[in-house]
Amino acid sequence: MFPFFSFSQKINNCGHIIIETYTDKSFKYIENKNTYQVIVNNMVLEGNSLLETTNGYLTITNLEENVPSKIRLYNANGELLFIKDYKQVINLITSENKYYVAFYNAGYLTVLNIQSLKEFKYASSLIFNIDNDGNPAYGNNIDNTLFYKNTNYKFENQLSKLLFFNDKLIVFTTDKMYLIENGVSQLVYTFNSRFFDAAVYNNKLYFVNRIENKEGFIFTLFETANFNEFVELQKENYNFNSISEPSLIYDTLKNKGYLHEPIRGPIRYNENNVQYPIGNSYAEIQDYGSPQYLHPGVDFLGNPNENVYAVKAGVVKAILTTSGSLHWRIAISNNATSGESVGYLYAHTNQYSIPYLVGDIVSQGSVVGTLVEWPIYNFTHCHFARIQASGATWDGNWWTINNPLIDVTNIVDNTTPVFMNAIGSNKFAIRKKANGSYIQPDSVYGNVEFITKIYDQVNSTWKLDVYKLRYSMHPFDNANNIIFDNLAFTYDMPLDEYITNNYTTLCLNTIYSRDVSCFSIGNYDDRDYYQIVTNSNGDDSISSADQLCSFNTVLYPDGQYYFKVTAWDASNNVKSDSMLIHIKNHSNKIDESALNKAIVSIFPNPNHGKFNLIFSDKTMNDVSISIIDVLGNVVSEKSYNSINNMIDISKQPKGIYFLKIKGLQINKTFKVVYN
């Protein structure tokens, strides 16, 4: 990455090639206005990863997990020549002459000519490199083929790495090394066990052989200058640290529900009753510039170089970085299958601390790497997520599923969620659904949204969002008469933040308020979570229909009520708060057509044989209800005079029923699904 003066070449105890160097360039991070800066040769450049190019510098800026990365090119005087955002910058490399850079971005290999600033894209895998003329070489691990200069090459075993050595392509498979020259593939070395790592430096090629035994790995470093002689330089032993043998499922998953499973935390794995400090919770809003997103995992705060452990046995599906040295990660599937499977993601590890390769089997409790030091806010952490993807290998485009924090069995957290005043002195904010204007709790009418401001803390000062929210209402003078009790949200939804971000954006816009009065934000400096609890139809999934939901006050008689919200965190600590509201529809002269459209409420629907039937006071007098099955048989007929009624058809067969409601002000039929 810089012009170096070499002292020695060696491998660390994890088998990675380390070149000890001297450089006259200082390199450090400065937190400034929510970004990073690097100082090199007394010049201040913006970014948190730095490479030297043929005539200047390239920096990458990535502020947080899976935020689009920004590439900048500077000349030797520090003048900015190029800037562009990319959704992903995975495993960025330069050509030997540093005229070209290449990286993986959302399924494609992107090649950038540093001098002309022209871009080229190729459908590729994560196995790629680029020669001094900008010609890409890239592999396909489905059929073990390689494409380079209009020629396809077929190999017996899986491709592991591509390098250019004196502008000649070197191909490493799991157990062999090949030289590609003049359109011909030539075998030049056979490993006695498994290829692990390789690097080119000072006109020499260095590579590592790995042998596995019951105790761990034995790494051996070799050197060659011409493929005629291979010199052994060093051996290193790596001892396993695990509590169990691998236990894998060697077929596709039968259950696509992905139920939660008990796990221990990914750091301090072997300790019990750990007060894990959490820096970000699952699915909480993140705002480090545009676009905003939901956090696709849980951040376990730790110390630089602290061990990270596999919480389940599995097979390594991916080892990659999404943006420079801070974002290396390892993904391990629970299942040895090329079909759909689930596993766990461990991000922000030191690149050279990962002792595994893609395809390796990892035991539960094994060390999979160490934490990279986070340069600002003392925020060194393991970004931990449960993920789902398909394929023999994974390329970083995966779903996150489930909130893994509720599954951690060795965490201790006794702090309950905290309710803040959402607006002014009001515990909750009330906003008109139609026009977004705010109204006071002493005069509530029409279709409205209730907005809360709640946060949680887990063994740290960082504010997090909660795990689950419910809301309910009862008359001010009768706490036992619960008129309704609805689930708002459970922060346990799948997120496609690493893929298209479409569903994640839908969830964000459903859960969070972001207007001037109630503006949700989450970053290092500001954290305010305003949850629109009434944007929910009461089930445990989020869809576009939830954004249309509201609290329709015309369903209830004018009067005073307590609106109550209950919040749980991932450790099941619970807190409730309520606010007195006064529904005043008639005194505010609600439009009559709105009343006629919403005079009956039936929920839940579908149901399990019992459901609530609520009338507005306009229709409650002398109402008779007939329940009719699909064959036209009347299974029940009864008169009602109450506003809030519980209907029980659980003794009837499951199926579709029709509620025929007749009264002085109503004559309508509604469908009810009993399943």
| CATH label of the domain that carries residue 216 | 2.130.10.10
Q: pLDDT tens, 262-279?
A: 999 999 999 999 999 999
Comparing C-alpha atoms, which of 531, 546, 538, 374 is closest to residue 465? 531
pLDDT of residue 485: 92
Domain residues for 502? Answer: 418-592
- How remote is the C-alpha of 343 from its chain's centroid? 13
- Whether 71 has a pLDDT exceeding 90, the answer reads yes
**Torsion angle of alpha carbons 288, 290, 293, 297, nearest 10°?**
-40
Residues 337 and 450 in one domain: no
Residues 468 and 552 in one domain: yes
Residues 375 and 503 in one domain: no
Q: What is the mean pLDDT of residues 246-254?
A: 39
Comparing C-alpha atoms, which of 295, 356, 298, 299 is closest to residue 330? 356
Element (H, E) at 184: strand 184-190
Give a yes or no: residue 216 inside a domain.
Answer: yes
Residues 533 and 603 in one domain: no
- Choose the final residue of a domain: 542, 566, 592: 592
User: pLDDT-based confidence at 675, cuts 50/70/90?
Assistant: confident
| CATH label of the domain that carries residue 616 | 2.60.40.1930
Comparing C-alpha atoms, which of 376, 256, 250 is closest to residue 313? 250
Residues 345 and 393 in one domain: yes
CA distance 130 to 555: 66
Comparing C-alpha atoms, which of 327, 339, 343, 430 is closest to residue 48? 327
- Whether 621 has a pLDDT exceeding 80, the answer reads no
pLDDT of residue 616: 65
Residues 295 and 438 in one domain: no
Please list, in sequence order, all residues whose beta carbon lies within 8 angstroms of the beta carbon of residue 645, skipping any fewer than 6 positions away: 612, 613, 614, 615
Give a yes or no: residue 269 inside a domain.
Answer: no
- Choose the final residue of a domain: 572, 592, 612: 592
Asked if residue 14 lies in contact with residue 238, where contact means CB atoms within 8 angstroms, the answer is yes
Q: What is the mean pLDDT of residues 551-562?
A: 91
- Whether 121 has a pLDDT exceeding 80, the answer reads yes
| CATH label of the domain that carries residue 553 | 2.70.50
Give a yes or no: residue 644 inside a domain.
Answer: yes
Q: What are phi and psi of 236, to 5 degrees?
A: -140, 140
Q: What is the mean pLDDT of residues 210-229?
A: 93
Q: What is the mean pLDDT of residues 157-174?
A: 95
Residues 385 and 313 in one domain: yes
CA distance 64 to 56: 26
Give a yes or no: residue 583 inside a domain.
Answer: yes
pLDDT of residue 317: 97
On average, the pLDDT of the chain sits at 88
Number of domains in the chain: 4
Q: Which of 209-218, 360-369, 665-674 bottoms out in mean pLDDT, i.e. has the lowest?
A: 665-674
Give a yes or no: residue 1 inside a domain.
Answer: no
Residues 69 and 113 in one domain: yes
CA distance 292 to 86: 15
Residues 566 and 632 in one domain: no
Asked if residue 360 lies in contact with residue 396, where contact means CB atoms within 8 angstroms, the answer is no
User: pLDDT-based confidence at 645, cuts 50/70/90?
Assistant: confident
CA distance 36 to 59: 10
| Position with higher pLDDT, 103 vs 61 | 103
Q: Which of 44-48, 167-171, 198-202, 547-551 bottoms out in mean pLDDT, i.e. has the lowest?
A: 44-48
Return the number of other C-beta atoms located less than 10 Å from residue 366's C-beta. 24
CA distance 334 to 361: 10
Give a yes or no: residue 251 inside a domain.
Answer: no
Asked if residue 628 lies in contact with residue 636, where contact means CB atoms within 8 angstroms, the answer is no
pLDDT of residue 511: 97
Q: pLDDT tens, 490-538?
A: 999 999 999 888 999 999 999 999 999 999 999 999 999 999 999 998 8
pLDDT of residue 625: 87
- Residue 213's Cβ-count burial label (10 Å; 0-12, 13-18, 19+) is exposed
Amino acid at 416: T
Own/partner long-range contacts of 532-535 (Cβ < 8 Å, ≥24 apart): 532/449, 532/450, 532/451, 533/450, 533/451, 533/452, 533/469, 533/471, 533/488, 533/489, 533/565, 534/448, 534/449, 534/450, 534/471, 534/488, 535/449, 535/488, 535/510, 535/511
pLDDT of residue 49: 84
pLDDT of residue 459: 98
Give a yes or no: residue 491 inside a domain.
Answer: yes
User: pLDDT-based confidence at 30, cuts 50/70/90?
Assistant: low
Residues 371 and 440 in one domain: no
- What are 130's strand-pairing partners? 136
Residues 174 and 318 in one domain: no
Give a yes or no: residue 254 inside a domain.
Answer: no
| Position with higher pLDDT, 278 vs 123 | 278
Residues 53 and 106 in one domain: yes
- Choose the final residue of a domain: 407, 438, 459: 407
